[in-house]
Every structure is written in structure tokens, then in C-alpha cells.
Structure 1
Amino acid sequence: MNPTPSTETLRSQLAAHRLLGIVRGTDPGASVRTALTLFDEGIRIIEVSLTTVDAFAVIEEIARATDSTCLLGAGTALSRESVRRAADAGAGFILTPALSEGVDEAVELGLPVIPGALTPTEVHAAAQLGAAAVKVFPANAFPHRYIADLRQPFPGIDLLPVGGVGLEDVPRYFAHGAIGLGIGSPLCGDAPNGGDLTLLRDRARAFVAAAEASR
């Protein structure tokens, strides 16, 4: 079973493990297998997007199948109800693509939250809510140096680029000061839809190696 980490614990685990795997799929069983494969390959922080088919059941099954070293979150949690249901299913933290009522609900429930933001105003607003980190989304809308540009006025805000982060982007984002990276399709491919888990393992190992080499 998975813990509900403190905000500081989630932040420190992001800094330590550097990668957050994002599972979003059309096949619930395959989505569970994808998450467990990522966990087996050393990706200890996993998000299940609530756009996944039967997402709450998927979260519940992953939570049952993993131990306390897995930090399991629910993503695309835009509404208050979705946050409550995700927490009931076993999600220990919340991610959103934007500042929404889902962020407010997570804060009220005492769940660590990683709100989505893109502009300096949004990044500042997200941090003011007590974010564990701010999800810069979609990160690929700007050059890698955008992370360093944001950190200049906000040196105390930890930034997590998400959106189109490929293997070749890993060292570049870390060089510009990202605390970690949220990676979906470039990592998971079609595995959450029933695709090849062997190829998933290969991609996971490559991303983990790239993150370690970027320290």
C-alpha cells in the first residue's frame, strides 16, 4: 500500500528520483501493468491520469500491488470530486494541468499537489498555494532554457517540466534547473493501451540512465 507523503517528502523524492512516469491508457489492465513495469525498472513516482479508462480502479489496483516505496499520484484532477475519489482509491498526491478547483480540494484534504502552470504569473500563483513543485505544462511550448528563465525570478520554486519530454531532452532540462521530469508518451508509448512491455522496459531503463547521468 502507498503512503500519503508530506509535501516536503514528495519534493525530496522528486529531487532524489528525478523521474515521474505518467500512465494514460485505454486498457485498464495494460495501464496497471505499465505502472508496475515502470516501478520494477526503478521509476518510483507514478501518476495515473484520470483520463485513463477506469482510472480510479487502476489507481486502486496499483496501490494494492506496490509497497511504500512507490509514490502514486492522480493526474488531470481538475474537479473537487475527482480529487476525493482519487484519494479514496489510494492516490497519495495530486497533479493538475492548470490552476483549478482540484488544487483547492487537494490543499484542503492535506494532499501534496503539483499544479500545472506555464506563465510566470501562474507559476507564482501555484507556488503560493503550497505546491510541492510546479508542473510547467506544456513544457515543449518553449525552449529548454525557459526553465532557467523562470528560476531567475523564482529561485525558490521547484519546477517539473511535463509535456513532450523525450529522452534527448532529459540532460537539457536538468542542466537548466528542473527538479525532475514528468514523462508520458515518450516513456510509456502504447503500453497502457496494450502495447509491448519489453519495449517499455527498454525505454524506462534508458530514461533512468539518462537521469542518473545528468546528476
Structure 2
Amino acid sequence: MAATLPRGVLAVIRTTSAEHALTIGRALAGTGVGAVEVTFTVPDAAGVIARLVKEGVPNVGGGTVRTVGQVRECAEAGGGFVVSPHTDAEVVRAGVEAGLVVVPGALTPSEVVAAVGMGAHAAKVFPIGAVGGVGYVRSVLEPLPDVPLVVSGGIAPEEVPEYLAAGAVAACLGKALWREEDVVAGDVEAVRRYADAVLDVAAPR
């Protein structure tokens, strides 16, 4: 699968069940999300990524990627990108060598510049909600307007347009995109309808 930098809403799937993750991933296909991230805290995350890719879900990748081994698992599963909560030079290098889009976590301007200098395609500013939100993004991008930023952590759906307007290329949303009861029931259509309603607010088309 071709590596594509996540843009718009980056849907983050973090569940305690592979089946629940599959239900969410299938539901998000065809919605307005820019990419689907399956975190490596999900049981058999690589298997979930492989299944979603095989089923034609566009722009699927791995999240909470902390080791070179997880980078390789994601690549072998057909994922197009890896996202990390931190910056690790070996993880960045492994992702780039595997042909993946690499988005490591960073916070300060120094960390953001260092991550991109290692070869990362963007930096994930995390946890954005705890450090100033939209105002922080504007402040960082003022001297670094050419650096693609993904924002994550404590973002409400209605805040996504503000982050994108401030210059972020993507904003992460997780559990706000689905209702737990629909996921537990395996009701893909109900999950899709709910996600569409949320995305009407977060990413109006």
C-alpha cells in the first residue's frame, strides 16, 4: 500500500479486542477520516492492520509504535504509516527504510525539528490538549511554517477545524468516533452512522 501522510481526521483505534478494532476499522471505511491508525496496544494489531488492508480500507497504519520490531510488523501487514508517542531515531530510520510515512511524537520546537531532521515526514505534537491547544500549534508553526504537524491528545470533534485552520495537517480522534455499545454488538453500520455524524462536525465535507 502506498504510504500517504495522514490528513484531516486521523482515526485512532485503541481497543482491548481485535474484533472490536476490526468492527471500527470497517465502519470507518468510506467515511470522512483521512486515515485509520490501529495502535499496537490492540491485541494482534498487525493482524488487524493486515485484515483491514486486505478488505480495502484506505490508508491504514500502526500507532503507538515503540520498537523496530513493530515497524516491521506494520510494514509486513501492508500498513502505510507508523505513528509513535515519542521520537526514537531507530524507529524513525526503520520506518523510512521500510517505505512508510513516519510520524513520531514530539512536543517542543527542538523535538519537532529533531524528529523531522531524522527523516520523519511529520511530527505528532502530543499531548496537545495539555500544553495550550490551538494556540500552541500557532506558536510552534510561526517559526516553523514548513513542518507538517499532527496533533493528538484531548481533542474534541468540534475543535478539529480550529486545529486544521491553525496549520496542523491532521488531528487525532479516538473514542469520540464511536459508541462502545455499537462496537460490542459488532454493528458496523451503526458505528459508521455515528462516525459520520461526528465527522459532520469535525471534518465537514
Give me the TM-score of the superposition, normalised by structure 2: 0.88
Letter in 2 for 1:158: P
Matches of 2:103 and 2:178, distance apart in 1: 21
Structure 2 stretches of 5 or more lacking a match? Answer: none
Which residue of structure 1 aligns with residue 68 of structure 2?
80
> Structure 1 residues 203 and 141, CA, compared in 2 at 3 Å: closer, same or farther?
farther
How far apart are the structure 2 equivalents of 1:147 and 1:199?
A: 34
Which residue is equivalent to 2:123? 134
**Aligned-partner Cα distance in 2 for 1:191–1:122:** 39
SS in 2 for 1:40: coil
Distance 1:201 1:175 in 2: 26
Query: 2:112 is matched with which residue?
Result: 123
State the distance in 1 between where 2:97 and 2:122 align: 17
1:100-153 per-residue CA deviation (whole Å, 9 max, x = no partner) reads 232221122232101111111111111112322211111111222100000011
Taking only the aligned residue pairs, the percentage that are identical comes to 34
Aligned amino acid, residue 94 of structure 2: E
Q: AA paired with 1:204?
A: A
Deviation at 1:189, TM superposition (A): 4.8
- Specify the alignment match of 1:41 in structure 2: 31
State yes or no: 1:177 paired with 2:175.
Answer: no
8 Å contact 1:140–1:163 — kept in the other structure? yes
Q: Which shifted more, 102-111 or 139-148?
A: 102-111
Gaps of at least 5 residues in structure 1 are none
Mapped contact 2:130–2:154 kept (Cα < 8 A)? no
CA distance in 2, matches of 1:189, 1:95: 24
Structure 2 letter corresponding to 1:104: R
Deviation by residue 1:47-82 (Cα, 9 ceiling, x = unmatched): 100000111111111111115xx1111111111111
| 1:89 CA drift (Å) | 1.4
CA distance in 2, matches of 1:49, 1:158: 21
CA offset at residue 192 of structure 1?
9.2
Q: Is the Cα contact below 8 Å between 2:158 and 2:202 reproduced in 1?
A: no
Q: Distance in 2 between matches of 1:162 and 1:20?
A: 9
1:180-195 superposed matches below 5 A: 180-190=170-180, 194=184
* TM-score between both structures, scaled by the size of structure 1: 0.84
